[in-house]
Amino acid sequence: MATHPYISGAGNVAQMVAQLRKSFPSTISSETVKKLGLAPNNESYVISVLQFVGVIDSEGKRTPEAAKAFSHHKDEDFAEQFGALVQKAYSPLFELHGNDAWNLNSDELITFFRQSDQTSAAIGGRQAATFKVLAGLSGHGDILEPRPKKATKAIAAPKAGKTDAAKKVQSPTQPPPPPSAGAHQNHNEGTGFGLTVRVEVNLPADGTKETYDNIFKSIKENLLGG
């Protein structure tokens, strides 16, 4: 079981501490974190971190040490007092590395937490990230900010009348009226109108030469005017 706290979004701890520097409720619980809109679904983890470093007690009340730290307005003064809380909470880490513990890299911190708590690589990584945020709040390193939520793109509604106009464009045009009888005779009279007639003849596969001759003779007499 992990004895050192961890959270999947360590930057939310920095957000919570910044909020407490502005206004510190008389009692802090997971419901308080939820109402502030911080660390969705991770409210209890934020509370665990605050309790571990001695900001609040088991009942969610502010500790005397926290009251002293959070009463400072200047960042450097707050960082010094808050750092004392962190160093006390992580005393085994500082006993092993001294003040160099503030500047350990992620791999070195993960090694310490995994060896101390026998945790997995994923949990050890979160423990290391949590300590780094606390170290940043103590004036050692940068303060990790939580990742912003991805904005969802709104789907624009189609403009009125656009669909109808598109339908009109895509609607097929009406075919021209069929040519009147005898139109093929006007082709040579300069009317500018031509007619093409396609005749499809299906010849029987077992027909004789006489049969074929009769078919073509009929075509010549009736269609070609021969």
Domains of the chain, by residue range, sit at: 11-137, 184-226
Which regions in the chain score pLDDT beneath 50? 148-157, 163, 165-169, 171, 181-189
Burial class (CB in 10 A: 0-12, 13-18, 19+), 57: middle
pLDDT given for residue 139 in this prediction: 95
Q: Where are the beta strands (DSSP E) in the chain?
A: none
CB of 3 closer than 8 Å to CB of 139: no
pLDDT given for residue 141 in this prediction: 82
pLDDT given for residue 214 in this prediction: 78
pLDDT given for residue 106 in this prediction: 96
